[in-house]
Amino acid sequence: MDVGNLLGQLAVLDIQLTRRGDDLLFDAPEEVLSGELVARLRTHKPAILRYLADDSLPPVERTGLATPIQRHMALRHDANPRPEVWNVPVRIDLSGALNEAVLIRSLEELVKRHQVLRTRFAWLGGVYVQQVLRFEQLDLVSVDLRDPTSTKDERGTVVDQWCTEIAQIPFSLLTDASMRVGLARTNRDQWTLVLVQHHILTDAVSVSTLLTDLGALYRTITRGDTPEEATEEQFIDYARRMARRAKEGALEPATAHWFELLAGARAGVRLPFPRSRPITPSGAGRLICRRLDHALRTELERTANHVSSTIFTVFVVGFTRLLSLLSGSDDVLITSSFGNRSEAAIETLPGLFANPIPLRVRFSPEETVAELLYATARQMSLALDHQELPQPLAQALDHRVVADVDGGTVAGFSMNHDVTEDLTLPGVKADILDVPIDAARTDLMVVCVEEREDLVLQVEYSTDVLDEQTVGAWLTRFENLLRSIGSKLPEPVARWTA
């Protein structure tokens, strides 16, 4: 038997193998530990040891099944002409009394602590697995961009270009899906730090967790203390546990819920795109932002309180109403990313836990806007109760529960936490910024970032089918719908237009 096939089968059985000299150690669930299995391991022990000892391969600490969402994202990564769109970059401008050596050591300790930051992916015998690599060195690009002869604007342009270059380097999931770090010295007491991960290993909550941990490590090392050991729970443990739960049928109630909700729905809406969709997508895209003032935020929060809901629900109803008006459809399906951290052990653990959940909003002309908000809030509450089922929309499509819409698009809307205050370094001011990437994951994705006072809409769109003028006009209509929703609560939905 090919050793790759055997290792793939062992990963499916949740069996961990470790080489210690000439000994082969294994960790297997009790229910799969049989005499036949032990015999197979003994028979193939020499081949397995040679594989684990192969210096041409990355040194692997642990192997486990990739999650269904990770497999789905890997396929989308491979299919996108611009795979760098799946990069998640964070730019941090630092100024003050930064100890560069302590910062680098803190980053090294961060990667040692979290196995997900040193994970790659591989196909073993037709099984997609994640492999934690042994820490050897930080993937660091360090440069000095100081130039006393250039103006402040010129230096800023150089730094911006460098950040974009670092952020847009595509990852190879088979070799280097681990975290990439760029550190540039930009002035006497100024630096720019860029952290880049592939989305297959992170989500919005994880970015916040890593920044918080980085600050804590920096403060610990600055005091001369020894950083704490890594927690026993790691993302690969969560993935192994979820695979067991799925095998045991624990996700069947969630499957039933989503199939009932999505029965008869159409996966996508026909939007009036100004450009015809090309036969071969380019993957190109743009990101534009629209800041909503504090007064509107206050009004939306008042509306949410009035119907015993959340501002997120108000946004979802407003966004789907926009799509309904644009498409002429009274049944609108979108996706939204839910945190999916219902277990205490993973609340602050980095990894790709977030799950794209479908939200179906149906507009009845006689129904009041308030009734629509109540119904959507109930649906979102049930979504939270059943969010652990991976890729419910994809599964519903596979089982023909949902009909695909030829020429349509599944738009997405999510709300993210603002991470600008998550990194605290003594004596250092840290400004956290986004690094735009000129690519798009889908036709239209809107993310609302909750800052301390205001709300910022970040709109990623495909330039294959959309242009800035059209997206800007849609955003204006969206904002008008949000501004009017409070006054429209007692009125029929048919009168809520923009």
Q: What is the pLDDT of residue 169?
A: 93
- Give the largest CA-CA distance in the chain: 76
| Amino acid at position 94, single letter | L
pLDDT at 1 over 60: no
The 3-state secondary structure of 402-418 reads CEECCCCECCEEEEEEC
Average the pLDDT over 249-275 and give the result. 93
Q: What is the pLDDT of residue 340?
A: 84
Instruction: Report the number of secondary-structure helices (H) and strands (E) in the chain.
Output: 14, 18
On whether the CB atoms of residues 427 and 97 are closer than 8 A, the answer is yes
Average the pLDDT over 382-411 and give the result. 88
How far CA 388 is from CA of 200, 238, 383, in Å, comes to 17, 12, 9
Q: How many residues does the chain have?
A: 498
pLDDT at 458 over 60: yes
Q: What are the pLDDT digits (tens) for 285-336?
A: 999 999 999 999 999 999 999 999 999 999 999 999 999 999 999 999 999 9
On whether the CB atoms of residues 496 and 320 are closer than 8 A, the answer is no
pTM for the structure as a whole: 0.89
Highest mean pLDDT among 175-179, 304-308, 469-473: 469-473
Banded pLDDT at 463 (limits 50, 70, 90): very high
pLDDT at 2 over 90: no
User: Which comes out higher in pLDDT, residue 493 or 151?
Assistant: 493
Q: What are the pLDDT digits (tens) for 57-103?
A: 667 788 888 999 999 999 999 989 999 999 999 999 999 999 999 99
Bridge partners of 197, per DSSP, are 88
Q: Give CA angle at 334 (328, 339), nearest 5°.
A: 160
Q: What is the pLDDT of residue 29?
A: 67
Mean pLDDT of the chain: 89
